[in-house]
Structure 1
Amino acid sequence: MKWILYDIGGVIELVDDHSWPTELRGRWSRRFGLLPAEYDARLAAADLPDTTVNVGVAERYWQGVADALNLSDADVEAMRGELWDAYCGEENTELLEHARSLRGRCGLAILSNSGDGAREEEERRFGLSEIFAPICYSHEQGVLKPDARAFEQALDRMGVPAGDVLFIDDNSPNVHAAQALGIRAVLHHDNAVTIDAIERFLAE
């Protein structure tokens, strides 16, 4: 059986992962009366855990942020809500509906760079587990794309050779890394083009 392996942010979620971290940094530094450089310096000195490759560290991360910026519990709760709103963006309804239509024709999986807590938050918003299995998150696997190990773990969990997989991502380095392992890959920029590529792959 062939498999379609999807990225999340910028593919099945409509979000610009390159812009929202900078936008939040600017918003939060202004809110707390700090210059961006001072905001950055305080967080750097806090030695926060890396939430992208570790699971179960979110509470320690946010406590570190609160201590570094002298924040109240309400401040931190607001920041967390704003972060997940920015992180998740909106559902790419067209691509998700197409994925749902593929059930029974192929396997459907996810490989995504992520932050600790993403599985719970994205499941609450989008119900991804109803469509995709496995869902491979970097914070649970301990490795980020484009590291080859991220793809190798996903292949192992799908239980198929690289040539039976089509990977869809909106970042060129990730697409090239997949191709280097023998995985077919599409650089996503338009739903219609991506859907056509999926259909052609499945028809081969």
Structure 2
Amino acid sequence: MKNTRIKNIIFDLGDVILNIDVPVASQSFAELSGREQSEILAIFNENEIFRQFETGSMDEAGFRNFIREILEFDDLSDEAIDTAWNSLLLDLPPERVELLKNLGTQYRLFLLSNTSSIHITQVNKILEASTGVKKLQDLFETVFLSYEMGVMKPDPLIYQKVLAQAGIKADETLFLDDNYDNIQAAAKLGIEVIHVQKPTTILEYLKDYAV
């Protein structure tokens, strides 16, 4: 049901706007390195590879070199690493972009994503190929990215930063994310939330908010 107090909508990216499959990346690195996927996952978790890259602790070159180091594969090319890393990014349905354009005529729209610079470059390529829109910044008033902010969801600080920088009030803001912990953290700050769960998409969740 539509909340008439809402003036602002914040969207997560993965599995909210863009379809993703996170385990595909570890499988891609497993195939590259000749290891089992379970071993790759263990290595990534032990080294907090996602957290380090997605909070800006490493730049792109540092990330690629770290991948070579932890996989003990010095000959792995930048292109091969980027391709494997980006393999979790799937498709971006054009109808979701049309919904964003519609909502943008009535609400202030923002993006808040735990992500890396390599992923964002590829997402923009997928976006343009599927919809003709060149970059995410063309759809949102502000694009908030964890690697640029130095903090990631569900840390309450990231939501506080978004509210402060955008100059918006929590109780006038709706946040959509597929991760339960991220949703809960935002809700505790007074933000209205929608937990996006497949197979339901934002088209159904936001039908009352669209024109």
Q: TM-score range by the shorter chain?
A: 0.7 to 0.9
Divergent runs of 4+, >4 A? 35-49
User: Structure 1 residue 93: deviation in Å?
Assistant: 2.3
Matches within 5 A, 1:172-183: 172-183=180-191
Look up the SS of the partner of 1:54 in the other structure.
coil
* Alignment deviations for residues 97-127 of structure 1 (CA, whole Å, 9 cap, x no partner): 1011122311110011112333333233322
Per the alignment, residue 70 of structure 1 pairs with 73
User: Structure 1 residue 37: deviation in Å?
Assistant: 6.6
Structure 1 window deviating more from structure 2 (154-163 vs 45-54): it is: 45-54
Q: Which runs of 5+ in 1 are unaligned?
A: none
2:205 equivalent to 1:194: yes
Per the alignment, residue 98 of structure 1 pairs with 99
Aligned pair count reads 194
The letter of the residue matching 1:111 is L
Structure 1 window deviating more from structure 2 (2-11 vs 169-178): it is: 169-178
The letter of the residue matching 2:136 is L
Per the alignment, residue 2 of structure 1 pairs with 7
Q: Judging changes above 3 Å, is the alpha-carbon distance between structure 1 residues 155 and 197 closer, same or farther for their aligned structure 2 residues? A: farther
* Alignment deviations for residues 172-194 of structure 1 (CA, whole Å, 9 cap, x no partner): 11111111111111111323431
The letter of the residue matching 1:183 is I
Per the alignment, residue 122 of structure 1 pairs with 123
Q: Which runs of 5+ in 2 are unaligned?
A: 1-5, 128-134
User: Structure 1 residue 45: deviation in Å?
Assistant: 8.8
Q: Normalising by structure 1, what TM-score? A: 0.80
Q: Normalising by structure 2, what TM-score? A: 0.78
Structure 1 window deviating more from structure 2 (47-56 vs 77-86): it is: 47-56
**Superposition RMSD in Å:** 2.8
Distance in 1 (alpha carbons) for counterparts of 2:109 and 2:20: 21
Distance in 1 (alpha carbons) for counterparts of 2:63 and 2:113: 20
